[in-house]
Structure 1
C-alpha cells in the first residue's frame, strides 16, 4: 500500500492547531501530589543507588491517595516497594504483602482537659528515670510498627493497604554518628547501618543535640517553628509532627521531655482523645492533632495510669480521596527503650546479639 503524504508545506498557525488537535487534559497536580511524586522518586533513587545515604529516622509517611493516571504511570511500578521499605533492593522479594488497614470508631477530641492532662504527662516525664548514655554506648529502641503501604490502586478504590505489624529495632550512639536498624522483611537481612557524619538537627537529632535544646516550653516551641518553617502541610502540623518524631526512637533528657509536652500543648488544634490504642493493643489517653490537608489525626498515646508514652497512631477522621473515616493509617508501640554497651546488643545480653 502506498502511503499518502500531505502536500501542504506552509506551517499551521495556532488557531488551526487548536482546531485539529484534541483538547488537552488538565496536567496540573495539587501541591500535595507534587510532593508525593517527589518523595516517591527520591525514595526510589535511594533504594536503587549503589551506596544509598543512611536514614537518620523514620521518614514521615507519604499518602498515595487518588493519584491521577499520569502520576500513577510514573510511580505505579514501584509504589508498593517504595512505601513498604527503605532499605536496598534485597528487601524487595522478602517484603511481606500489605494488609487491609483496620477501621476503628473515631473518638471525639476535646480541649476541656488538655492543660491538666499535659501536666500529668509532663510530671511523669520529668520524674521518670532516664538513663544517661555514655561514650561507646547506644540508645536501643524496640518497637512494633505498621505504616501506610499504598492507598487505593487504580483497580480498587475501596481499600487502604498497610504493612503487617512487625518489629523494628534501632541502635543510636549519643552523638548520632553510629547506628544500626534491624527491621526484618523491610531491610536487608541482618539490618542496615545508620552511620552518618551529617550534623544533628531537629529533623535528625542525636541525644547530644537534644541536650542543647531550651527547656522553657515557649522558647522550645519558637525554635521548633523556626527550624521547620516551610516544611509539611502547615506550621502547626509540622511542629506537632516534629515533636512526635522525637518520641519514637530517641531518648530525651527528662527535663526536655517534659518541656516537649508542654510546648506541644501550646500548638493550636491540639486536643485530648480519651481512648486510643497503640500497635501493641494497649489502650490509653492521647494528645492529638488533625492534619487539615490530608484529613488524618496523629495521636500520641499514654498509659492512663502512669502517663508514660506508649506509642502513636494516625487515624483518618475526614473523608479524603476515598479514604474511609476511621481508617488506621499508621500504628507504633514502643516495647523497650534502654542504654546498651554495644551496637546490635539487646538489653539483658552481653556483646553483639544480632
Structure 2
C-alpha cells in the first residue's frame, strides 16, 4: 500500500515556522541578570589568573553605561547587589541605589585669565605648608565623591544615574607599599587593603616617588606626555587627567604641586571656568579641559580667595552615550588631607583606629 505523504510530514518553511511558533522574546538582559553574569565571568577570570595589585589611585569608577533597563529595575538591582573584595568573601551592605545625576548650566571656559589664575594657584601652593610623612606614618585623605552609574534607562533616555554622594577615606604609606581604603557601601565592611609591591609610577604614585619628579614645569610635562603615551582618549586629555589624579588622593610636596599647576596650564585646550561647585557645595574657580571624544569637561576647583584645591567635577558639555549636556557625571570634594601615625587612624583620634 502506498502511503501518501501528508502536509505534516513535510518540513515547514520560514513563513510557516513564524506563524506557528511564539514570537521571540526581548533579547536584552535585565540589569540584575547582567550583573550576575558579569560577576560570574569576573570570578572565573580571577580563579585562573593571579590577582592584580590594588590600584594606587582611583580611576573614574563607571559601573555601567547605557544599559537598557527601567529605572525601577535599576534601583532594585543595586539595592540587592553586594560586592566582595578581590580574593575575599566579606560582603558589603546593600549598595545604595543610584540617584538622578545633577544637571548644571554649562558655563563657557576662557583663556583670558588662564595665566594669572594659574600663577595665583601655583604661588599659593608654594607658600602652603605641607606635612612631611615620616617612617611608619600614613597619608590620610577624606573625600566626598559620586561617580556615574548608568548613562540612561530604556524608559527615560534623558536622565543619567550616579552614585549618591558618599564618604571615601584612603590611607597610604609614603613608600606606597601599605594602604587602606574605606568606602562604605562600595567596599566590604571595614574597607579593603591597598598593600602593593608595584613599582611606583605616574599611574601608581607614592609620596616618595612624587619627591623624585622634576619641579620644572616643562620637564615635568614632557615626562607626563612620555610616560602616558598611548593612554586615554588623546595625549592632551591624558596629560590633564594624570595631573588631576595627583591632586585628588595624593599628597605632593609644595614645589611639585606648583609645578603640576604650571605644567597643566601648558596643555592645549585648558581654560578657566569662573564658577564651579565641588561635591561639598563649595563655590570656586576652575581649571578645565574637554575630552573631545567622550564630550565631558573635567574641572579642578579652587577656592577663589585662597586658591586652595577643593575638589573636581566632570560635566558633560556635548551629548554622548545618551548623556545630555550639563549632566554632572563625576564629583569630588577633598574634606581632609593630612598625616596620621597609623593605618586606619583618623585625624584627632590619635591612638584609635577605624
TM more than 0.5: yes
Maintained 8 Å contact 1:47/1:87: no
Indicate if the aligned counterparts of 1:63 and 1:151 stay in contact, CA closer than 8 A: no
The residue aligned with 1:197 is 197
282-291 or 342-351, which moves further after superposition? 342-351
How far apart are 1:322 and its partner, in Å?
Answer: 2.8
Equivalent residue number for residue 17 of structure 2:
none
Any idea what the Cα deviations from partners look like across 1:97-131, whole Å, max 9, x if unmatched? Answer: 00000001111100000000000000000110001
Q: Deviations over 1:275-307 (max 9, x none)?
A: 000000000000000000011000000000000
Q: Do 2:175 and 2:207's aligned partners in 1 also have CA atoms closer than 8 Å?
A: yes
- Which residue number corresponds to residue 257 of structure 1? 257
The equivalent residue for 2:158 is 158
The match for 2:125 is 125
Residue aligning to 2:22: none
Please give the per-residue CA displacement for 1:238-285, whole angstroms capped at 9, x wherever unaligned: 000000000011100000000000000000000000000000000000
Distance 1:347 1:93, change over 3 A: closer
State the partner residue of 1:25: none
CA distance in 2, matches of 1:125, 1:54: 29
Alpha carbons of structure 1 residues 251 and 118: separation in structure 2 relative to 1, 3 Å = same
- Cα RMSD, aligned residues only: 3.0
Assess if the C-alpha contact under 8 Å between 1:84 and 1:148 holds in 2: no
Report what 2:26 is aligned to. Answer: none
1:348 aligned residue = 348
1:108-257 to 2 correspondences below 5 Å: 108-257=108-257
CA distance in 2, matches of 1:44, 1:56: 24
CA shift for structure 1 position 134: 0.6
Q: Verify the 8 A CA contact 2:151 2:321 in the aligned structure 1.
A: no
d(CA) in 2 for partners of 1:214, 1:85: 40
State the alpha-carbon separation in 2 of the partners of residues 47 and 93 from structure 1.
24
Output the CA distance in 1 between the equivalents of 2:292 and 2:316: 11
Whole-Å separation in 1 of the counterparts to 2:270 and 2:84:
30
Q: TM-score, normalised by structure 2?
A: 0.81
Label 1:142 to 1:185 Cα distance change in 2 as closer, same or farther (>3 A). same
Secondary structure of residue in 2 paired with 1:330: strand
Query: In the aligned structure 2, how far is the partner of 1:261 from the partner of 1:350?
Result: 33
The offset of 1:45, in angstroms, is: 2.6
Checking the alignment, whether the CA contact within 8 Å between 2:78 and 2:96 is kept in structure 1 is no
Match of 1:45 in 2: 42
Cα distance change, pair 164–3 in 1 and its aligned pair in 2 (3 A): farther
- Whole-angstrom distance in 1 between the partners of 2:82 and 2:265: 32
| SS at 2:224 equivalent | helix
User: Is the 1:300–1:312 contact (alpha carbons within 8 Å) kept by the matching residues of 2?
Assistant: yes
Number of equivalences: 314
Report Cα offsets for 1:41-86 as digits up to 9, x if no partner.
79973798465642321123448545699xxxxxx9xx969x9978
Q: 1:232 to 1:279 in 2, by over 3 A?
A: same
Q: TM-score, normalised by structure 1?
A: 0.81
Larger Cα-atom Rg: 2
The 1:47/1:184 distance shift into structure 2, 3 A limit, reads: farther
Determine if contact 1:248/1:311 at 8 Å carries over to the other structure. yes
1:158 aligns to what SS in structure 2? Answer: coil
